Amino acid sequence: MTARDAAARVPPAHGNSSATCWTATAIQGSTEEGYNRKGGGDLDAAPPFSPDSAIALLKVAFRHPIKLVANALGVPPPEMIQMGRDHGRAGRGARRRQGACAPPGEAGVDVIVAQGGEAGGHCGEVSTLVLVPEVVRALKAAGRDIPVLAAGGIMTGRQMAGCMAMGAAGVWTGSVWLATTESETSEVSSREDGRGPVTGHSAVSRDDGQTRAAASVWLD
């Protein structure tokens, strides 16, 4: 599959909706010419997230002194796990709902991140408060000694302590770092993410779960 093939699979209604948002917000839409000019790559090449591209990028990563390979969505593919073990690196998998994909611990990862629905970006339907102890119990019942890191809506030391009281070995934080000085996030995004009310964010349904995003014309 090429990037052009992937673009052809996007429903026309989605493209029309995006065009409407571009017009309403005075954002210039992308074109094939703009795609190539901005470094997006060749439309006739494989998409950035194709299996072949992912393996090639992993080979590049393993040439550097990395300590951990994290799979953002779900259970890592076997090739990723094996490459990590061949290079003596730890592997991390994410679980957004208990029962999804492989049973806990069977994928061969060294750490499991139980990511609740309070997470920013990709999130599941189950809250962190419910998911973390459920994953911990499932691992214990299966006789697997694998550390569980809690994720989803964690920003303070009190929340970290609460997660560890639920059985987590620690926490995995993400969105909280977007508002830091070191982050490459734009000043506007950092301000809105850090100061906006909790009710100003919504979870949008996707085929593979949900995605949390700030309320805007794109979601209305």
pLDDT tens for 29-54 read 554 444 443 445 577 777 766 777 88
For the chain, the DSSP string reads --HHHHHHTS-HHHHHHHHHHHHHHTPPPP-HHHHHHTT---TTSPPTTSHHHHHHHHHHHTTS---EEE-SSSSPPHHHHHHHHHTT-EEEEEESSTTSSSPTTTT--SEEEEE-TT-SEEE-SS-HHHHHHHHHHHHHHTT----EEEESS--SHHHHHHHHHTT-SEE---GGGGGSTT--S-HHHHHHHHHS-GGGEEEEEETTEEEEEE-STTT-
Q: What is the pLDDT of residue 162?
A: 97
Confidence of residue 99 (pLDDT cuts 50, 70, 90): very low
Q: Is the pLDDT of residue 100 over 50?
A: no
Residue, of 28 and 16, whose pLDDT is higher: 16
Confidence of residue 103 (pLDDT cuts 50, 70, 90): low
Q: Could you tell me which CATH number the domain at 66-214 has?
A: 3.20.20.70
Domain coordinates of the chain in residue numbers?
1-48, 66-214
